[in-house]
């Protein structure tokens, strides 16, 4: 998926995109009242592939409504991260499409023009 497609998804969902230095992570999703933003540390995310990865993972949190704060117990964080990953895979890597590609001979992740 192209980064521009992900930006369109953010726009459609009214999610703000913020570049800011972060500690301990390359990206985060912030949800407060009716405002949602994805924050990305562009010093840690320097390629479009890396940016797409972070955007997709954080969008998974949004789609799964899987938010937590710094005081959340580790076990709950693990469950919410897993829930977000599943939603991201469902949205951005549809299983049936991947199966079709594999039947056509795709065996590794490659960039398709």
Where are the chain's structural domains?
A: 3-103
**Structure confidence at residue 68 (pLDDT):** 94
CATH of 3-103, one of 3.30.310, 3.30.2010, 2.60.120, 1.10.540: 3.30.2010
**Structure confidence at residue 113 (pLDDT):** 41
Tokens 């977000």 correspond to 84
- List per-residue pLDDT tens for the chain, 113 residues long: 788 899 999 999 999 999 999 999 999 999 999 999 999 999 999 898 899 999 999 999 999 999 999 899 999 999 999 999 999 988 988 777 777 878 888 776 555 44
d(CA 1, CA 8): 11
d(CA 53, CA 64): 17
With contact defined as beta carbons under 8 Å apart, do 66 and 81 qualify?
Answer: yes
With contact defined as beta carbons under 8 Å apart, do 38 and 59 qualify?
Answer: yes
């Amino acid at each position: 998926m192209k980064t521009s497609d992900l930006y369109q998804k953010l726009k459609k969902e009214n999610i703000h995109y913020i570049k800011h230095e972060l500690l301990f992570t390359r990206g985060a999703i912030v949800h407060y009242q009716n405002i949602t933003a994805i924050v990305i540390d562009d010093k840690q995310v320097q390629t479009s592939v890396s940016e797409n990865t972070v955007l997709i993972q954080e969008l998974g949190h949004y789609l799964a409504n899987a938010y937590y704060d710094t005081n959340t117990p580790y076990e709950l964080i693990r469950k919410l991260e897993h829930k977000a990953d599943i939603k991201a895979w469902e949205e951005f890597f549809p299983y049936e499409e991947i199966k079709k590609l594999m039947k056509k001979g795709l065996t590794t992740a490659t960039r398709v023009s």
